[in-house]
Structure 1
């Protein structure tokens, strides 16, 4: 049983997560997240902790951002995009039990005011400025459990989720082995 309450977007996500782990869940009803739902999330965060586990798409990122702003200190789990795809649909509901368990095993807690990494770190290892930078960021993000993001988002996640330099360099090395 996962101690924290997992926040997902919809009922299909609830079903997929429940197939993978024993946990309580809250749904946001997608971008229609209400003040009442935010209050539920705040209560859950105070009493048991919360893991935000939204779809790896624009709407999922927007919901994650809303929750992070209104309920500081949440934990976050990220599912790699390619593991959330079925036909042209992207969402947690499409992921395998193993992919969901793996994402939830790499939960990250937000850290504020940290600036360990700069854009130079992304350029240095080819995560920016190269033809395959997007693919490399996707691989490194999956290894680190921080998901995919453009250069600015990726840098933000490196700093916000407390990734160490050792973890970063190890993930880059591992991503280039595959």
Structure 2
């Protein structure tokens, strides 16, 4: 399956977040890294790229993540926002079981071993 056929996109901040999410999901989902803050031109390109797809925002529970989340809420209101528990602060350091639960709540299929 090519990326053009994938109907779901998860936007994360960094590569370590992407690796964590990739390990947990059990369906074809495109995962895009913003690498921190994102310029308006990059955001416009991203919005065009994900047009007509289900988009999920999964960023860290810290100041930088909240700033990015606010930008996405303003510029891309159709996106669904997923939240990790604030006690973990970062997607990359949250336990796989927690990430799986967050994704499952959004009806994203996850590997069952993370649901034990």
Q: Give the alignment's TM-score, normalised by structure 2.
A: 0.75
Compare the two structures and name the one with the higher helix fraction.
1
Q: Deviations over 1:9-37 (max 9, x none)?
A: 01110111101114211111112x12343
- Pick the aligned partner of 1:4 from 4, 8, 20: 8
Matched length: 99
Bigger relative contact order (CA 8 A; separation at least 6): 2
- Aligned position for 1:99: 98
Name stretches of at least 5 consecutive residues in structure 2 with no aligned partner: 1-5, 107-116
Following superposition, the deviation at residue 104 of structure 1 comes to 1.5
- Pick the aligned partner of 1:48 from 41, 46, 53: 53
Q: How do 1:64-79 and structure 2 match up within 5 A?
A: 64-79=69-84
State the SS of the aligned residue for 1:81. coil
- Pick the aligned partner of 2:21 from 17, 34, 39: 17
Q: Give the alignment's TM-score, normalised by structure 1.
A: 0.51
Following superposition, the deviation at residue 44 of structure 1 comes to 4.2
Are the equivalent residues in 2 in contact too, given 1:3–1:48 (CA < 8 A)?
Answer: yes
Go from structure 1 to structure 2 and tell me whether the alpha carbon gap of 1:76 and 1:44 turns closer, same or farther (over 3 Å shift). farther
Q: Deviations over 1:37-93 (max 9, x none)?
A: 3124312442212100000111111100001111121111101022x2xxxxx3100
Max Rg structure: 1
CA RMSD in angstroms comes to 1.8
Compare the two structures and name the one with the higher strand fraction.
2
